[in-house]
A and B are shown apart, each in its own frame.
Chain A
Amino acid sequence: MKLYALAVYLFLYLPIGIIVLFSFNAGRHASSFQGFSGKWYGKLLSNPFAMEALTTSLIVASTTAVLASLFGTMAALGLQGVTGRLRAFYDSVIYIAIMIPGIVIGIATLIALVTVFDLANPALAALWPEGLGKAPRLSLGFVSLIAAHTLFTMALVIVIVRARLAGMDRTLIEASADLYASPARTFWQVTMPQIFPAILAGFLLSFTFSFDDFIIAFFVAGAETTLPVYVFSSIRRGVTPEINAIGTLVLTTSLILLIAAQFLLRERSHGSAAGRADDG
């Protein structure tokens, strides 16, 4: 049994180990290891295409994370105490947003947006005031990427924050009201510190999912290239050791972010205590 577990762990970590090891390979080829060198990291950092893709991914992921955690938290708060048909409606929409494969979200968003743009662009051009120069053309790019990523990450944030709200100690809110705090004050001093770890965890998860997403970006990025799309096309063009360096960096970053998210979700009682201490 122990041996079996060991074999499975080996299976899980062997590929990751290979990626990390070969990112330090001094040799040109992926096939044999010829000593340690950081040269692929140097090459990566001076590759303008990779750096541009990284910048795009960072902008998209951070905007997505901000929008998803803000709107997702608002929705989770708004859904508090909602029952009946309205509740069932939101539950099923959230469920669908999480369940529908990324590839279907990708193509659906692609054809819906392109169709809307095709209708809107001539109208926009006709209605645009002369004095303002050329009318802007709507096209796929940053906005469509962020909008599509925000959709499914927001659904995740709603689920996470709602779980936290459900586990919250309601007597604290009642106590706050008994002590004559206004609803706004109760929210900022009682509710917020308690749900904050969940919001932050949702933020980090959204960032990571958006940063890692390949398939939706593949469809809706338009002329932009995100890091996963860049990596995918590099793999298609042939194995280059640079991908190992990207892989190692992405791996390290997602690890740090997700460990932080996990930590925040675990720290239930601690989290709210720390939140209150920060307030004071």
Chain B
Amino acid sequence: MHSPWTRRLLLAPATLWFAAMLVLPLVVVFVFSFGERGAAGGYLPAFTLAQYANLPARFTAFKNTLLLAPAGTLAALLVAYPLAYFLAVKVDRRWRTALLVMVIVPFWTSILIRTYAWIFILGGRGIPQLLELFGIEGVRLINTPFAVLVGIVYGYLPLMVFPIYVSLEKLDKRLLEASADLGAPPWRSFLQVTLPLSLPGVATGCMLVFILLMGEFLIPALLGGGKVFFIGNALVDLFLQSRNWAFGSAVAATLVVIMLVTVSIYMRLMMRGARQRDDVGVL
């Protein structure tokens, strides 16, 4: 459709931008991760694996991230699934769009300010004070892994609801009728028809939330109070406080590698799943 020159001209700014602001910085991180820390911070050119060998020094951050990112994803899934099911199957058509929009609206506003509100609610004068009225004393919620989980579910819920909703909405209602006609009770129809058919949506939602959680900084910083450190918090600390660029680069590179591995495993599973579903379709 375009002449080669027009095409080159159209693609030039984006290509330059990707090269200068994505490829170059990522290459620099990779190169720096084999370097050494300068005397006054920053980076000294070297070729050593010392930074990677030192990764266990940030074990807690990796452990927290690799435990709480899946846990947060699972918690978001458990809260989101019934809501997505309700929206896709139970709600009257007239209300569906409005209720769906209401799920995304909070997501459209700054996550910083939404998370800040939870400092209020979980803090000493929020829910703990409310609980004292009922005679439950000394509950600590803020600056705990629980607070971080609440923040995660709150922050990422819409990302989980949407893909599940989409897959449930596409579900052929005749399959459920057939299942009922064959004498399956509703719970069995759900487990053997609805749930398996909604799995692609579940997988997409989990992947989206999990990927974003791997690089999370704000929620642990605000609701974890320095106790529930994620890799993101370790990175901010390494680059802005201790100015240890080489080690920080190794941590960042490791994070990216973990993400790439997870995403490719996911892609492979998705493709296998799609193939299996096609087989079912043929049968």
Contact = CB atoms under 8 A, between A and B. Distances in A.
Contacts, number: 207
Contacts of A115: 28, 43
B125 A31 contact: yes
B28 A111 contact: yes
B17 A151 contact: yes
Contacts of B105: 255
Given A18-B117, A71-B17, A74-B13, A212 B255 contact: no
B240 A104 contact: no
Nearest to A243: B116
B11 A99 contact: no
B121 A254 contact: no
B86 A151 contact: no
Contacts of B22: 93, 96-97, 100, 105, 151
Given A78-B10, A93-B18, A111-B28, A103 B235 contact: yes
A113 B22 CA distance: 11
B1 A80 contact: yes
Contacts of B110: 212, 214, 228, 231, 247, 250-251, 254
A129 interface: no
B14 A250 contact: no
Contact of A107 (B103, B106, B252): B252
Contact of B102 (A9, A111, A235): A9
- Assign chain B's interface to a size class: 35 or more
A41 to B, nearest CB: 15
Interface residues of A, number: 74
A15 interface: yes
A101 B113 contact: no
Contact of A100 (B7, B24, B249, B256): B256
B122 to A, nearest CB: 10
A107 B121 contact: no
Interface in B10-59: 10-11, 13-15, 17-18, 20-26, 28-29, 32, 43
Nearest to A208: B108
Given A19-B117, A235-B119, A250-B113, A103 B18 contact: no
B218 interface: yes
B214 interface: yes
Interface string B197-227: 0000000000000011011011000100000
B40 to A, nearest CB: 13
B241 interface: no
Interface in B232-257: 232, 235-236, 239-240, 245, 248-249, 252, 255-256
30 contacts: A5-B86, A8-B157, A15-B106, A74-B10, A74-B14, A75-B10, A78-B10, A79-B11, A96-B22, A97-B22, A99-B259, A101-B211, A103-B215, A103-B217, A107-B248, A108-B25, A111-B29, A147-B21, A151-B17, A151-B21, A212-B109, A212-B110, A214-B111, A228-B112, A232-B112, A232-B218, A235-B112, A239-B119, A247-B117, A254-B109
Interface of A: 1-2, 4-5, 8-9, 11-16, 18-19, 22, 30-32, 70-72, 74-75, 77-82, 90, 93, 96-97, 99-105, 107-113, 115, 147-148, 150-151, 154, 158, 208, 212, 214-215, 218-219, 228, 231-232, 235, 239, 243, 246-247, 250-251, 254-255, 258, 262
